[in-house]
Structure 1
Amino acid sequence: MAKVAFIGLGVMGYPMAGHLAAGGHEVTVYNRTHAKAEAWTRQHKGTAAPTPREAAAGADFVFCCVGNDDDLRSVTIGPDGAFAGMKEGALFVDHTTASATVARDLAEAAGGRFGVMDGPVSGGQAGAENGKLTVMMGGEAADFERAKPVVGCYGANISHIGPHGAGQLAKMVNQICIAGVVQGLAEGLHFAEAAGLDAAKVIGAISKGAAQSWQMENRWKTMTEKKFDFGFAVDWMRKDLGICLAQAKETGARLPLTALVDQFYADVQQMGGRRWDTSSLIARFGGVSE
């Protein structure tokens, strides 16, 4: 069992930290809104710290899951940042979906005093709550082997992708693929409705064949019912796709479908769906009678 810190108790971090505590680790948490950290300690065995630095002090592992590059820098760098409190030889694992650039910058900022890995996750809130996340990790192989048993408290599929930043790049691939799949599913369900087909029968017929996907299995019903008040928010997806498109511009990769779906999500935002699940792409089509 290890002494660990967890920084960022959002919809993902809160249950992830809970799994660490349930796994028997000694957990100290930090959250920008301290009341949420205190609420976590009432639900789980652990303590709350007033700053990232104090949370990280003496920890063997420091985990982080915040919003974006700027949030990540704010909780790691500076006099109250986690890096100022980390002991030599510890390991920092970042689960934020962020840029590959910030992942490399943080590794450089550590200066070899402690290890740094980028480990963005996939699986959504349900995956975090059930401890079934996919974790894509970038950094040193030895650090990966050291982190894997602890990350296993909430990760069911944990992979070492490559050097610093590789985990973030893999997460970009994940989001690119999801964007295209959700748009295709939205169009397929819209087509079925327009054609007067029973969506349940259609999905029953095609969901075990080549068209099968996680999105189809888990989202087709709520999409046909136009229910989106759950899941992975459109605002978050646009943030992620923005990272993908910026990286593509830097590397020369061409992402025409991703750019198009990103604009479709902008339409959903204009409809008031900023916090809707990403499956809300189907809302752009309205009803077939319109």
Structure 2
Amino acid sequence: MAKVAFIGLGVMGYPMAGHLACQGHEVTVYNRTTARALQWQEQYGGEIAATPREAALGVELVMVCVGNDDDLRQVVLGAEGALAGMAAGSILVDHTTASADVARELAVQAAEREVGFLDAPVSGGQAGAENGLLTIMVGGEAVFFQRAEPVIDSYARMSRLMGPVGSGQLTKMVNQICIGGLLQGLSEALHFAQCAGLDAEAAMEVISKGAAQSWQLEHRHQTMLAGKFDFGFAVDWMRKDFAIVLDEARGNGAQLPVTALVDQFYADVQAMGGGRWDTSSLIARLKRKA
């Protein structure tokens, strides 16, 4: 069992930190909204810290799961940031979906304090976090990953070291590129089936047993047909992730025409008031235009 800190108790971090406590790890949490931390403590026990620095004092691992690059810098750097409280030999594990650049930046800052660093974004959404079935893609040194992996496994179905620092974030970008394209294709398929007079539910049941099968088809087609989107990974978050992806592509020369187009389709969904809808809501803009 390890002594760990968890910083950021959003829809992902809250259950992830809970799994750590349930597995018997000694957990101290920090959240910008204290009421959320108090709620977590009432449910799981553990300790609450007033600042990220205080949360990091005397722990072996600090896990962070916040919103974006700037949020990450705020809780890690500075006099009250996590690094200020971390001891030499401890490890900072960042589960935020952020840029590869900020991962490399924080790795340098951590190394100056003799602290290990892993960028470890997650996939699986809120349900994956709640059920402890996240897929975690990791960048960093193997020695740090080997030490952190048994703790990370508290909320992971799979974790894998993908390469040096930044590789975890780059792999998460690959993940988001795939999801965006799959959801747009599924939206068009469902819309076409309905316009053609088919039983769209029956069509999905048939094609799910063939080459068109995917997690999105299996788990989202029914709610998409019903127009239910008040759950899951929000459109606002996907657009944040796509901004990171497209910025990285401009730097490495990758051509992402479909991703750029789907990003604009998500902008349409936002304009419809769907910023907090699940990413499967791409079908809503097709129905609106029909």
TM bucket, shorter chain = over 0.9
CA RMSD, Structure 1 to Structure 2 (Å): 0.8
Q: Which residue of 2 aligns with 1:278?
A: 279
- The secondary structure found in structure 2 opposite 1:134 is strand
> How far apart are residue 47 of structure 1 and its match?
0.8
Question: 1:211 maps to which residue?
Answer: 212
- Give the Cα–Cα distance (whole angstroms) in 2 for the partners of residues 246 and 203 of structure 1: 35
Gaps of 5+ in 1: none
1:111 match: secondary structure: helix
Aligned partner of 1:204: which letter?
Answer: E
**Aligned residue identity for 2:131:** N
Rounded to whole Å, the distance in 1 between the matches of 2:279 and 2:99 is 21
Deviation at 1:45, TM superposition (A): 2.0
Q: CA deviation at 1:2?
A: 0.6
Distance 1:58 1:210 in 2: 51
1:86-235 equivalences in 2 (<5 Å): 86-112=86-112, 113-235=114-236
Deviation, structure 1 residue 285? 1.1
Instruction: Quote the offset at 1:287 in angstroms.
Output: 5.9
Structure 1 position 60 matched with structure 2 position 22: no
Letter in 1 for 2:281: S
Partner SS state of residue 160, structure 1: strand
Match of 1:83 in 2: 83
Matches of 2:14 and 2:273 in 1, distance apart?
Answer: 27
**Separation in 2, partners of 1:124, 1:238:** 15
Counterpart residue identity of residue 271, structure 2: Q
The one-character-per-residue Cα deviations of 1:45-96 (angstroms, maximum 9, x if unpaired) are: 2011010000010010000000000000000000000000001100100000
TM-score normalised by the chain length of structure 2:
0.99
TM-score (norm 1): 0.99
Alignment of 1:251 onto 2:268:
no
**Separation (CA, whole Å) in 2 of partners of 1:68 and 1:188:** 33
CA deviation vs aligned residue, 1:86-110 (integer Å, no higher than 9, x gap): 0110010000000000000000001
Q: Kindly, what percent of the aligned residue pairs are identical? A: 66
SS where residue 28 of structure 1 aligns?
strand
1:199 is displaced (CA, Å) by: 1.3
Q: In structure 1, the residue corresponding to 2:254 is in which secondary structure?
A: coil
The amino acid that maps onto 1:270 is A
Give the Cα–Cα distance (whole angstroms) in 2 for the partners of residues 224 and 263 of structure 1.
Answer: 22
Q: What amino acid is the match of 1:198?
A: D
Q: In 2, distance between residues paired with 1:186 and 1:107?
A: 40
Deviations 1:156-187 (A, max 9, x none): 11010000000000000000000000000000
Amino acid at match of 1:244: V
Q: Structure 1, residues 260-281: CA drift from partner, whole Å, max 9, x if none?
A: 0000000000000000000000
Aligned counterparts of 1:279 and 1:118: Cα–Cα separation in 2: 27
AA matched with 2:178? C
Give the distance between the partners of 1:39 and 1:188, measured in 2 at CA.
42
> Please, which runs of 5 or more residues in structure 2 have no aligned partner?
none
Partner of 1:13: 13
